Homo-oligomer: A and B are copies of this chain.
Amino acid sequence: MSGHVAVVGLGPGDPRYLTPEADAALAGAEALYGYGPYLDRVPPRVGQARYASDNREECARAATALGRAAQGERVAIVSGGDPGVFAMAAAVCEEIESGPESWRALDVTIVPGITAMLAVAARIGAPLGHDFCALSLSDNLKPWELIERRLDAAAGAGFVIALYNPVSRARPWQFGNALALLRRHLPPSTPMVFGHAVGRPDERVEVTTLDAADGKNADMATLVIVGSRETRVVARPGKSPLVYTPRATVEVNA
């Protein structure tokens, strides 16, 4: 019995983001588990099984993979971006804590990856160049009131804000409410970045301002960055602008 679980971050999609560590973890697994579209990014290997599941089945997927590992199999659970950021690593830890004692004896390796906010930021400049936070707008797993409290705190204290999961079919109004709340803290000209499917063929990055931003700019594959009062936009002739947050802040109330 030498079961092993790797939770592997694939990065934003294109193989150019896949670290050698992630590639080796995928190659060493007897079976892959994951959300179908993420599994589809991994080239098939002879003799390697793969089990696709839906994107709301994180706990069941983790439990199945852990159960197989406890029987001696080498399994890899794939995750888009980084597995530790709104992704599979926490689900695996939850299952280990609540599951059979034997699961705590398993070798578990978590392989980091390029998470969406880093990929989007790199595409457009350095909007996360100063203090920032990452917040999921999904109220499936926490009360909306808590999300509002965190948006208030983050915008009020001058953090740049990366919004994961801004919109889904089941959550149509939340992003618009978040924009309305942010407008109470930040000037209309605050830069915003909408990064859609960054690192994939249908990539689209849009720079706008808080007053011009609209719920329609975002979908399930969008990562949104809301600047702070310090964030700047540098126009470039014939090129997309650079959006960045300077390293220095002089004002205490920035």
Using a CB–CB cutoff of 8 Å, the interface residues on chain A facing chain B are 9, 11, 15-21, 24, 58, 82-87, 89-94, 96-97, 104-105, 108, 110-115, 118-119, 121-123, 125-136, 141-143, 145-146, 149-150, 152-154, 156-159, 232, 234-239, 242, 244-252, 254
Instruction: Using known A-B contacts A17-B21, A112-B119, A131-B135, determine if residue A149 contacts B93 with beta carbons closer than 8 Å.
Output: no
Cross-chain contact of A90 among B21, B150, B236, B246 (Cβ < 8 A): B246
Cross-chain contact of A249 among B87, B110, B141, B250 (Cβ < 8 A): B141
Contacts of A149 in B (CB 8 A): 157-158, 252
A121 vs B93: C-alpha distance in the bound complex, in angstroms? 12
Work out how many copies of this chain go into the complex.
2
Q: Which 6 A-B pairs have the closest CB atoms?
A: A90-B129, A133-B133, A153-B157, A93-B244, A89-B126, A16-B21
Interface contact B154-A157, CB-CB below 8 Å: yes
Interface contact B242-A96, CB-CB below 8 Å: yes
Chain B residue at minimum C-beta to C-beta distance from A118: B112
Q: Measured between C-beta atoms, what is the minimum distance from A105 to chain B in Å?
A: 7
Interface contact B19-A129, CB-CB below 8 Å: no
Instruction: Using known A-B contacts A153-B156, A242-B96, A244-B94, determine if residue A122 contacts B237 with beta carbons closer than 8 Å.
Output: no
Cross-chain contact of A122 among B112, B127, B245 (Cβ < 8 A): B112
A49 vs B132: C-alpha distance in the bound complex, in angstroms? 35
Contacts of A114 in B (CB 8 A): 19, 82, 112-114
A119 vs B92: C-alpha distance in the bound complex, in angstroms? 17
